Amino acid sequence: MTSTKNVQELLDLLSAKGNDAYFGEEVSVLEHSLQCAHFAEQSHASPATITAALLHDIGHILHGLPEDIARYGKDGRHEEIGATYLSHWFDEAVTETVRLHVAAKRYLCATDPSYISQLSPSSIESLQIQGGFMSREEANAFDALPNAKLAVQVRRWDDDAKIPALKVPGLQHYLPILRAVLRTPVTP
């Protein structure tokens, strides 16, 4: 992805395939992604963090599995699929934050006693399949990772970004932000 056309194709993928609702949630993947990016932007996050917030769940679109797989005890590993896919165009400031956003849920459950009460029922259901609460050793190792703090922040926006009919900017609003964080920035 070294041109505006290719960035637009990424947004088109999210637009075309992101209209399905998450299992157990009242928003679509696209609505959720736009809300998460909006919260990041409102928090004055860096362009890379806003990009990670927007694209953190692209693996849900790419894995090709039904959204209710957690109900059957299966994990689609959407964070790994998404990070690998995005690594063709973005560096670790984006991809590792995407990769770590599920681990950040496990970390927050282990380190913040009030956190689990903030999770939606479907997020609690998937937590067990994703490994449950981190052990103290896992939490310490996670905390030492370069993108851990960003992943935790994206995770918090992720948990909040489930508001039906919330008015937020559309995908085209994020085109310049994505272009700015490509491995090789593109000029108009």
Asked if 73 contacts 174 with a C-beta cutoff of 8 angstroms, the reply is no
Would you say residue 188 lies in a domain?
no
Would you say residue 88 lies in a domain?
yes
Would you say residue 81 lies in a domain?
yes
Tokens in use for 54?
């927007």
d(CA 100, CA 130): 12
Does residue 122 sit in helix, strand or coil?
Answer: helix
Would you say residue 187 lies in a domain?
no
H helix intervals, 56-130: 58-62, 78-86, 92-111, 121-129
Would you say residue 98 lies in a domain?
yes
Asked if 142 contacts 99 with a C-beta cutoff of 8 angstroms, the reply is no
Would you say residue 147 lies in a domain?
yes
Identify the domain containing residue 153 by its residue range: 4-180
Would you say residue 9 lies in a domain?
yes
At 88 the pLDDT is: 87
Q: What pLDDT, in 10s, does the model give residues 66-114?
A: 565 555 555 667 889 999 999 988 999 999 999 999 999 999 999 999 9
- With a pLDDT cut of 90, the percent of the chain lying above it is 60
What is the CATH number for 61? 1.10.3210.10
Global pTM reads 0.89
How many domains does the chain fold into?
1
At 159 the pLDDT is: 92
d(CA 25, CA 163): 9
Q: What pLDDT, in 10s, does the model give residues 2-13?
A: 456 778 888 988
Asked if 52 contacts 150 with a C-beta cutoff of 8 angstroms, the reply is yes
